[in-house]
Structure 1
């Protein structure tokens, strides 16, 4: 049986102490390989394609191009790479800007190292990890629209998507099979006229559907 390869990680963080600390903690964990660590997106940009990361840990407050601006550039360059935001910022606007620009997860820097390491694996498996306080802020910002095109079950599933749950986690939590979750998510995307989780979250927020 073929062994699963290590998750390839790139860190973009301007604080040298934090950058070195994350590189050491993550790199010394079995199954994780920190390929490179950069002090800015501008420094990283020319190397990312060659680095071939599976997951990028990205700070928002960077010299030059900030993390929010860097996100769409990274997604164009590496469409299959997952970007996990790791920042001190908890402002609602920045969270939604990050998610709308393609971030797959959003953690604050107070997050314990163990949780960060778990989140890298989770995001690689299709989840959308968020710090508890971030998830709470995302959900509480939605005041439901009574004219929502979504059914009660679709709304429930979309709320779990916003919380960062993967499809398999949603199936388990709602006691339904994975195919049913896929079918509901497909219907949600059709009704909202979107093609991705980030767009679904953005549209739901703009139209107060959840």
Structure 2
């Protein structure tokens, strides 16, 4: 396996036992390399650029700068890295704050090691993995607005986006081609006057469109 095939992972978690446990579980999997691990964002901020992570596992409750506050800062320091939240918290507000601030996925700490490893792989491929309970909460929190500007198909696409599906998965699930999915997403962004998945979800939630 070439170094290009290995996913570079950084862990930011204040609990030393959990931090080392994640590092061990992920590090022993072929195709993964835990480049570094930190007890806080403030510690990570000084060195993470040199780590060149592809995926960052981020806890929310951290000493100093918390995970939600750290998200936009991480996106500036390492803009190409995907951030996967891994936390004990599953409140609706935190989930949407995290997604709106740039998180690519959201897992709770009761997730199996298999789920965590698969989620790192999925997020690297452009997916938006979530724990089942989180995905249910995301969907349940949306109640349809009958005056929605979105078509039925656009609503379906946006619901699947909110469920953490990437474009290829949406195409497969709705039996449409990838170009059609891209077209629907473009129309959704235009109708909602947004430029990103996070903003589309935030606007849809606020206006009860899905």
TM-score between both structures, scaled by the size of structure 2 = 0.98
Partner SS for 2:5:
coil
Inter-partner Cα distance in structure 1 for 2:133 and 2:45: 31
1:20 maps onto 2:20 in alignment: yes
1:101 maps onto 2:101 in alignment: yes
Partner SS for 1:30:
coil
Partner of 1:78 in structure 2? Answer: 78
Partner of 1:190 in structure 2? Answer: 190
Inter-partner Cα distance in structure 2 for 1:123 and 1:150: 27
1:50 maps onto 2:50 in alignment: yes
Partner of 1:205 in structure 2? Answer: 205
Partner of 1:7 in structure 2? Answer: 7
Aligned length: 210
RMSD of Structure 2 on Structure 1 (CA):
1.3
Partner of 1:133 in structure 2? Answer: 133
Inter-partner Cα distance in structure 1 for 2:183 and 2:48: 35
Partner of 1:124 in structure 2? Answer: 124
Inter-partner Cα distance in structure 2 for 1:46 and 1:86: 22
Residue 4 of structure 1 deviates from its aligned partner by 4.2
Partner of 2:41 in structure 1? Answer: 41
Partner of 2:90 in structure 1? Answer: 90
Partner SS for 2:64:
coil
Distance 1:3-1:72 versus aligned 2 partners, 3 A rule: closer
Measured against aligned partners, the alpha-carbon deviations of 1:27-67 in whole angstroms (never above 9, x if no partner) come to 11111110000000011001111111000000000000000
Moved >3 Å (runs of 4+): none
Residue 80 of structure 1 deviates from its aligned partner by 1.4
Residue 143 of structure 1 deviates from its aligned partner by 1.0
Inter-partner Cα distance in structure 2 for 1:145 and 1:126: 29
Inter-partner Cα distance in structure 2 for 1:89 and 1:6: 30
